[in-house]
Amino acid sequence: MMRKTDFAFWTFLMMAVLAGATTVLNVSRTYSATSPNSELYRQLDLFGDVFERVRSDYVEKPDDAMLVESAINGMLAALDPHSSYMSPKNYRDMQVQTRGEFGGLGIEVTMENGVVKVVSPIDDTPAAKAGILANDLITHLDNEQISGLTLEQAVEKMRGPVNTPITLTVVRKGKDEPFDIKVVRDVIRINAVKARAEDDIAYIKITTFNEQTHTNLVKAIDEQKKAIGDRLRGYIIDLRNNPGGLLDQAIAVSDDFLDKGAIVLTKGRNNEETQRAQARPGEAVEGKPVVVLINGGSASASEIVAGALQDHKRATVIGTRSFGKGSVQTIIPLGSNGAIRLTTARYYTPSNRSIQAKGIDPDIQIEEELPDELKGKVVEKPRGEASLRGHLANPDAKNGDKGAEPAAEGTEKKPEESGSSSYVPKEPEKDTQLQYALSFLRGTATGPAVAKPADAPAANPAEPGKETPVPN
């Protein structure tokens, strides 16, 4: 991670840039006269020269702050695909996502034909209590038209301080005229864990790793124990299409299924930055069998959980190869100027294997069959970490790969690999991976352990042109 002294210098430098390029030149040259890093400061002189030339000669007067923000973005984007600058608004949005709660209405929405469409109201929220229904179309917010706004802008207007009212103008099928519904905002919690009983098996889907995930998982496990009772055979933990989230939550979730041993190792630039997370005694599932489902959309924190349980042979991993994001990002606040997301470490599974640009290979590989209507609409090659431009190399990659270390004598290094299909059917009865997992836990699974190659096309089950539903 960047030292505080280094960070203070860069902050000072950027403030100087906003004040004028001449200041930048004077600062850098003063440092270069006494510093061993003279080449670095010559490069900073170059930045100042270019900045001043753009300000003075560009065809239109540029925005100084925009130029600096773009320079920061370019610097971070050149490092790897996951390092980035977050504006103050983006930083606030990220905090909402990781907290898993915000002031809002309690509806999942998307944009359709220029208006907001309700995908579904969330149970026991202000929207549900006020009578908002699925498929309602929201045309006005406090009498102001939504037309012309993006989905993000509309959601921003619907969110707000708790106990403040907002009036929604709704068009509903079966009603002749639009009508208004007044809703008072409240604290909305994003439940990252959904569970149900599949007869004698507890099925638990984890959609993201936010601050509520571990708590919600423990609650879901307890509820399923009570619902299924003595018939409970085991658990299916569905991590498919889970993009990850908070590292500490991945560790806590893994710990729910382990009672000893390492969970994950994180290794930074220097050896002293290596950290190891250990499991504590006791399991939430009391030793019951566990299956973990993964696919090409399982990334980061999802891969930490799958890798830890696989290495300890505590769970059987079923599905297709995961995304392969084996790096850790640290959020560094910049006061009122937002924050930067900086890659500061790689993580390793308990057996000391890096999944960066490789992913987790399942113990039992099962491919989902794409429906006919999707076969012509998917990309030819599944996207994974290895396909991202500028990705960090896997330190155990085969010689010749980008940034690969030399292979130790007598060892063979495997090449980096792309991701796999991310398609999951909506109907449980058509979900081949889920049905195999149920049969596996019941001891009735038949057929080969490897059904198909993992390099099947990746599918996006959303309709073309439709946006992913956003909770608010």
CA–CA gap between residue 164 and residue 183 (Å, rounded): 8
Tracing tokens 């690969």 back to the chain, one arrives at 404
Residues contacting 400, CB < 8 A, separation 6+: none
CA–CA gap between residue 205 and residue 194 (Å, rounded): 5
CA–CA gap between residue 234 and residue 287 (Å, rounded): 9
SS3 per residue for 405-416: CCCCCCCCCECC
Count the alpha carbons within 13 Å of 215 in the hemisphere toward its beta carbon.
Answer: 8
Which structure tokens are listed for 268? 């930074």
Active-site residue numbers?
Answer: 300, 311, 325
> From the CB of residue 56, how many other CB atoms can be counted at a distance below 10 Å?
10
Residues contacting 178, CB < 8 A, separation 6+: 139, 140, 169, 170, 171
Count the alpha carbons within 13 Å of 424 in the hemisphere toward its beta carbon.
Answer: 20
Residues 369/432, Cβ–Cβ less than 8 Å: yes
